[in-house]
Chain A
């Protein structure tokens, strides 16, 4: 009979040290974030919050308030649409600058201009800057220039989403199948025509689809920007929250969820029609 030797788990030391390191990071992190679970159960907080929550049922369904909510909803939708429209206005030239020469070089011999490359580089940097700053920060700044109201929101969306759309447009165009365009080139058309009639149409569905997806995101962003004064449903909710009016807040929340569903539905229809 073989002698039985009792093994130790060789993995145990590694697991133990990982756990120790994890805890060593966790503790200061909780301090930094002022993680205090007992604050949830502190008397004054609990009373205020539970009173607020109780008011959620029933939601405020007075006609006068519902009219306000409806107006705010339309304002939010208008903000998102106008914002995306302006964003497209910005993204199309910006995106084209980036991809035009790249695409041309993919289709046929490139002109190799150094200016074109520099322009591409600058455009990329600009897009990074525009995209990197969250739209709500832009909204906060623009409110100080253009005053409270939806204008700030429209511009904030135009700026950030313009950058996003430009980047994705360029990516879509860069990965598009170049065969139709090259065929046109062989048939003797110029580079610009080959680009416009050979490359662009194939990508148009994807471009449209992404733009409409971004419109949906813009609707949600418009609501959020209302909290810094950019109008729409968000501003209404901010006002109701400040007055601790639970009934109004719950109505607005419900309308918001319905709005998101509506936007989702509209985008689905449009995408199906364009297919």
Chain B
């Protein structure tokens, strides 16, 4: 039997792949979805007609101003949410790293995992219920979810940081908090900032869609225009979303390259 050099025959792999294939077929069957039906002439023309309604996009200055304020609001939501989350995570980093005992650590980690596991959109729906429609609900929702993410990252960074500076300060009578601020924070500060900025980038993307459930930003404008069947306005908003996300991506790449260069 011939074996090609870079591939070994593996029975487990074959069985797994067959099972996966069966799972896929079963999924399509359960949904009564025939993928070929998507490409019938009727379906394709439906899609074509619907797509054509999006052109030309509405580029009137009045609407562009509306979209621009939506962009600013989206940026504000994401920035505030990340800032709030970073501050709270700074406080939660201490118990999450075990500075107040194993009990507090377990409770904090569980709480942070819960905040993280619930998707941002679900938080947004809950926050709309709590504070009403509008960008404040979006800010709170993103802040809650991001606290879960950053809290865990901050805690892990603190835990992995060499404790000699903190221990020396505690030995001179400083409290846990004081020892953290004067001993650990100067060393981990830039890493925490880096995590926060990265998270801000992802939150900008998230903030654009929270509006679908009424939490402000570009998403709310898009949802509104689509429900009124104003497809041309909707396509402007979608383009703005694209430009925003791609623009932020490019800027952060450039900043990262500059930072690399300045570090040596």
Tell me, rounded to whole Å, the shortest Cβ–Cβ distance linking A48 to chain B.
7
Contact of B16 with A220 in the complex, beta carbons under 8 Å:
no
A29 vs B74: C-alpha distance when bound (angstroms):
10
Interface string of B13-55 (1 = CB under 8 A from A): 1011000100110111011010100100000001100100000
Which residues of the partner chain B approach A108 to less than 8 Å between Cβ atoms? none
**Total interface residues in chain B, CB < 8 Å:** 59
Residue of B nearest to A196 (CB): B4
Total contacting residues, chain A, CB less than 8 A: 60
Q: Is the CB of B131 within 8 A of A45?
A: yes
Contacts of A36 in B (CB 8 A): 131, 136
| Chain B at the A interface: SS class | helix
A180 to B157, CA, bound (A): 40
Binds B, one of A5-13, A74-82, A93-101, A114-122: A74-82
CB contacts (< 8 Å) of B72 on chain A: these are: 32
Indicate whether B179 reaches chain A with its CB closer than 8 angstroms: no
Instruction: For B125, give the chain A residue with the smallest CB separation.
Output: A241
Residue from A33, A86, A202, A224 in contact with B121 in the complex, judged by beta carbons closer than 8 Å: A224
B216 and A34 contacting across the interface, CB-CB below 8 Å: yes
Cβ-closest chain B residue relative to A143: B226
Which of B134, B213, B222 contacts A227 (CB under 8 A)?
Answer: B213
| Given known A-B contacts A33-B77, A33-B136, A238-B125, A140 and B38 have beta carbons under 8 A apart | no
B80 cross-chain contacts in A, Cβ below 8 A: 29-30, 33, 35
Considering only residues 128-164 of chain A, those with a C-beta below 8 Å from chain B are 128-129, 132-134, 136-137, 140-141, 144-145, 150-151, 154-155
Q: Is the CB of A183 within 8 A of B5?
A: yes
Contact status B129-A132, CB under 8 Å: no
Render A22-62 as a binary contact track against B, CB cut-off 8 A, 1 for contact: 00000001101111100110000100110010000000000
Q: Knowing A136-B209, A180-B5 touch, does A224 contact B13 (C-beta < 8 A)?
A: no
Contacting pair B7 A201 (CB below 8 A)? yes
CB pair A223 B4 closer than 8 Å = no
Q: Mark out the residues of chain B between 152 and 173 whose CB falls within 8 Å of any chain A CB in the assembled complex.
A: none
Kindly state whether residue A4 has any CB partner on chain B within 8 Å. Answer: no
The verdict on A151 contacting B33 (CB below 8 Å), with A52-B129, A81-B23, A136-B209 known, is yes
B67 nearest CB across to chain A (Å): 14
Distance in angstroms between the alpha carbons of A234 and B73 in the assembled complex: 26
Known A-B contacts A145-B50, A274-B13; the reply to A74 vs B30 at CB < 8 A is yes
Report yes or no: B31 in contact with A220, Cβ–Cβ below 8 A: no
Q: Which residues of the other chain, B, contact A136 by a CB distance below 8 angstroms?
A: 121, 209, 212
- 8 Å CB contact of B212 from A85, A140, A184, A257: A140
Query: B56 an interface residue at 8 Å Cβ cutoff?
Result: no
A102 to chain B, nearest CB (A): 19
Q: Does B146 contact A (CB under 8 A)?
A: no
Given A82-B28, A86-B35, A136-B209, are A202 and B6 neighbors across the interface (CB < 8 Å)? yes
Docked CA distance A180–B79 (Å): 48
Query: Nearest Cβ in chain A — how far from B134, in angstroms?
Result: 5
Q: Are A270 and B7 in contact (CB under 8 A)?
A: no
Whether the pair B121, A145 counts as a contact (CB closer than 8 A) is no
A211 to chain B minimum Cβ distance, whole angstroms, is 10
Q: Is A197 an interface residue (CB 8 A)?
A: yes
Interface residues as binary, B113-157 with A (CB distance below 8 Å gives 1, 0 otherwise) = 010011101100110011110111011000000000000000000
Q: Are A82 and B16 in contact (CB under 8 A)?
A: no
A207 within 8 A of partner (CB): no
A224–B121 Cα distance when bound, in Å, is 7
A133-B241, A197-B6, A260-B117 known; A45-B27 Cβ under 8 A? no
The answer to whether B79 and A29 have CB atoms under 8 Å apart is yes
Residue of B nearest to A253 (CB): B118
A91 within 8 A of B: no
Interface of B toward A, CB cutoff 8 Å: 4-7, 12-13, 15-16, 20, 23-24, 26-28, 30-31, 33, 35, 38, 46-47, 50, 72-73, 76-77, 79-80, 114, 117-119, 121-122, 125-126, 129-132, 134-136, 138-139, 205, 208-209, 212-213, 216, 222-223, 226, 238, 241-242, 245-246
| Given A82-B27, A134-B241, 13 more pairs with CB closer than 8 A | A33-B76, A35-B136, A39-B132, A48-B129, A82-B28, A85-B27, A128-B246, A132-B242, A133-B241, A183-B5, A227-B122, A260-B117, A274-B13
Closest CB pairs A-B (n = 3): A78-B27, A32-B76, A81-B27
